[in-house]
Amino acid sequence: MPDSEPVVALWSGGKDAMWMLETMYDDACVSVSALLTTVVEGTETVTTHGTPLGLIRRQADRLDLPLHVMRVPPAPSNDTYEAALERALAPVQSQGITTVAAGDLHLDEIRSYRENLFRRLNMSVRFPIWGTDPEKVSQHLLKDGMQAIVVSVDTSQLDGSYAGRRYDRGFLDDLGDTVDACGENGEFHTFVSHSTSFESPIPVRVAEVHGTGRMRYARLEAIHRAEEGRGTT
């Protein structure tokens, strides 16, 4: 059997990223070697998600994977984003990793953009969960016991009151048929606090829901061990 291909996974900390990771764990042809997450300079929160970098580091620890961090200014131009990505990938490439994995499901324009971008950066890109039905993804994740919280909502597509809710059957039922079950169109984003791939859960709570513009965010904070009896995700 040929050696497995080392891959760096684009990592947001959300449910689609987790499904992508678990899919690759089941693929003998690839080996997940590292995670790469993008945060906003100054706030140190994941772009569009608002998840604190500290919680992403906890996920990486639970997965026993090295985490590479890429920093961009708020609302970066494509040129700024791509230059930052090239810098962030340089250490990965120096280790002989030439393939990136992305957790996109079905947006052709996003896939084309990534393919062209990574080609320019002399890397290939895999889409391990491409074409999977969003409802199937959501059902699989919930059946496997994944726990996640909705950390951001685009209020032009979904009511802001959904920010801070658990990503569970009740949440999906309330979405109805007009919103993608995985938020693939940017309707919402999540943070996974527990997965079968984690060594242990990451206890978190919603400290506040904030945001006055288009986006509404649920600010998460870790629950310290002495506080865990007061409620976790």
Over residues 49-64, the pLDDT tens digits come to 999 999 999 999 999 9
SS3 95: coil
d(CA 2, CA 102): 23
* pLDDT > 90? residue 2: no
Averaged over 112-131, what is the pLDDT?
95
* pLDDT > 70? residue 145: yes
Sign of the Cα torsion 102, 203, 215, 69 reads negative
pTM of the predicted model as reported, rounded to 2 decimal places: 0.92
Distances (CA, A) of 116 to 72, 80, 82, 123: 20, 16, 11, 10
**CATH 3.40.50.620 domain position(s) in the chain:** 5-126
**Given this model, what pLDDT does residue 159 score?**
93
132: confidence class by pLDDT, cuts 50, 70, 90: confident
DSSP state of 161: G
125: Cβ contacts below 8 Å, ≥ 6 apart: 99, 100, 101, 102, 114, 115, 118
* pLDDT > 50? residue 231: no
DSSP state of 105: -
**Given this model, what pLDDT does residue 55 score?**
97
pLDDT tens digits along 147-192:
999 999 999 999 999 999 999 999 988 987 888 888 888 999 999 9
Sign of the Cα torsion 46, 51, 54, 55 reads negative
Helices (H), 64-213: 78-94, 108-120, 134-143, 169-175
195: confidence class by pLDDT, cuts 50, 70, 90: very high
CATH code for the part of the protein at 5-126: 3.40.50.620
d(CA 146, CA 167): 9
**Given this model, what pLDDT does residue 230 score?**
39
* pLDDT > 90? residue 140: no
- Burial of residue 71 (CB within 10 Å: 0-12, 13-18, 19+) is middle
| Cβ contact 35:66 at 8 Å | yes
**Given this model, what pLDDT does residue 150 score?**
97
pLDDT tens digits along 198-221:
989 999 999 999 998 899 999 999
